[in-house]
Amino acid sequence: MITEEQAKGIAAMYLADNPLGHPDYEWILGDWSEAQDLWLFPFCIRCRKPIPKEDQENFAGAPGFGVSKTDGAVRTIAWPEWQKLKR
């Protein structure tokens, strides 16, 4: 079983291994939650420059990813499943 601390480490490595691809923004580890057999992590982005929030770029896509409690495998979660898991 993957513990909460192990899941946070796996999630941090996943974000580090999959850079956002924009020099002014980076992934950060957001607040996680537990659902069924997954640890859920939202995709959270931080601007590296002191740009007012209203002038920052907007990003769209999947809301987050899950780390399996069984084996630590990571998978992206689409909006419909995310909404079901977050209930």
Ranges of each domain in the chain: 4-85
CATH class of the domain whose range is 4-85: alpha beta
Which residues, at least 6 apart from 62, have a Cβ–Cβ distance to it below 8 Å?
43, 76, 77, 78, 79, 82
Instruction: List Cβ neighbours of 3 (8 Å cut-off, separation of 6 or more).
Output: none
Quote the pLDDT of residue 70. Answer: 97
Averages of pLDDT over runs of 10 residues in the chain (87 residues) are 96 96 94 94 96 92 96 97 91
- Residues 27 and 20: beta-carbon distance below 8 Å: yes
pTM of structure = 0.91
Q: Which 3 state secondary structure label does DSSP give 29?
A: strand
